[in-house]
Amino acid sequence: MFAFGKLPREAFHIARRNSQPIHARVDFQVKRNRLARRTFRGRAIQRFQLFAAMHHRSQIVLVASALRRDWHVLAPDLRGHGDSQWSPDGSYSTAAYVYDLAQLIHQQGLAPVTIVAHSLGGHIAIRYTGVYPETVKKLVAIEGLGPSPRQMEQRSAVPIHERMQKWVVEQRALSGRLPRRYASIEDALKRMQEANRHLSPEQARHLTQHGVNQNEDGTYSWKFDNYVRADSPYGMTKNEIEELWGRISCPTLMVYGKESWAWKSNPEEDGRLAHFRNAKVAAIDGAGHWVHHDKLQVFLKLLRDFL
């Protein structure tokens, strides 16, 4: 997510004292969880940005590096992802994620902000903006709008007791699931490339190197908590979600890759976009779900024009 707002005065002094951009990790605390964030400070700081990706902040390093001459970029890891702490009870509800974002913006005094977020990060950013519309100046969601109307209908058609039973079964299965171990970085890289065929070899290697931890036996495992895979059996109703969308008053850009599964339901055509006051959709040719990797330069131009 990207967020624009006023920076503390001391931040400008730090920028002036350093001729080179600053790239530093600073963690923050939310309840009992330690969450990781990294800042990309450019020489000419005029505005503030916050970026949150789905898995870990390394997903947006290329975007942050391209923008840090003009913007101060802050890239947090979501709970259970990257270098942020895993939730002690394996809880990863949307409400918990929204609280994490709300606390980061509150603690750092970032509002009003501009947020740019991808996938789960986009989902969280949209919900947050609907709750606190006065704190967000602009919003960019890369494939973060959530389930299509058809998917929502299919979910609602399943009785709550069946959804709860399915969730319990998933939780039990995850409790016995050990993180997969790869003998080498190269083996993990192959898996990354299989799951994301639009990535260049350099992008896939970068994401892999920053997305794994080395285990004591020398093998490698992905950093994310397996419990983030579990889908919550309940949540906001369709009417409640649409009510939040209607509260978003800032300019909003929905970005999609035309080769992504998410583009199968265009928000302009399925009615979701109509609930926003000031939103538009941009679809990029040749891009999959990770639009900002698949077509970096196209995405950067689109982003700069919007911002």
CATH code of 120's domain: 3.40.50.1820
Question: What band does 19 get if pLDDT is binned at 50, 70 and 90?
Answer: very low
Residue 61: what pLDDT? 72
Alpha helices (H) in the chain, listed in sequence order = 9-17, 61-67, 94-108, 120-131, 149-156, 160-175, 185-195, 201-211, 238-247, 267-270, 291-294, 296-306
Residues 6+ apart with CB under 8 A from 216: none
Query: Is a pLDDT exceeding 70 seen at residue 1?
Result: no
Pair 240, 266 in one domain: yes
Residue 16: what pLDDT? 35
Residue 80: what pLDDT? 81
Of 107-116, 134-143, 238-247, 254-263, minimum mean pLDDT range? 107-116
Q: Which amino acid is at 198?
A: H
Instruction: Answer yes or no: is 4 within a domain.
Output: no
Neighbour order of strands in the sheet with 71-76: 22-25, 37-41, 71-76, 47-52, 113-118, 136-142, 252-257, 279-284
- How many distinct structural domains can be found in the chain? 2
Pair 171, 200 in one domain: yes
Instruction: Note the pLDDT tens digit of each residue in 39-93.
Output: 656 554 444 455 444 445 556 677 877 777 777 777 788 888 887 878 888 788 8
Alpha-carbon gap, residue 114 to 139, rounded angstroms: 6
Domain boundary, last residue among 171, 197, 222: 222
Q: Which amino acid is at 295?
A: K
Question: What band does 7 get if pLDDT is binned at 50, 70 and 90?
Answer: very low
Judge whether 251 and 138 are in contact, CB under 8 Å: yes
Residues 16-36 have a mean pLDDT of 54
Residues 6+ apart with CB under 8 A from 53: 59, 60, 75, 78, 117, 118, 119, 121
CB atoms within 10 A of CB 153: 11
Instruction: Note the pLDDT tens digit of each residue in 126-135.
Output: 999 999 999 9
Query: Is a pLDDT exceeding 60 seen at residue 153?
Result: yes
Instruction: Answer yes or no: is 83 within a domain.
Output: yes
Pair 191, 293 in one domain: no
109 against 5, higher pLDDT? 109
Instruction: Answer yes or no: is 21 within a domain.
Output: yes
Query: Is a pLDDT exceeding 70 seen at residue 33?
Result: no
Query: Is a pLDDT exceeding 50 seen at residue 20?
Result: no
Instruction: Note the pLDDT tens digit of each residue in 164-190.
Output: 999 999 888 888 888 889 999 999 999
Strand duo 220-222 + 212-214: pairing: antiparallel
Instruction: Answer yes or no: is 130 within a domain.
Output: yes
Alpha-carbon gap, residue 165 to 209, rounded angstroms: 37
Pair 94, 53 in one domain: yes
Please give the residue range of the domain that contains residue 202. Answer: 156-222
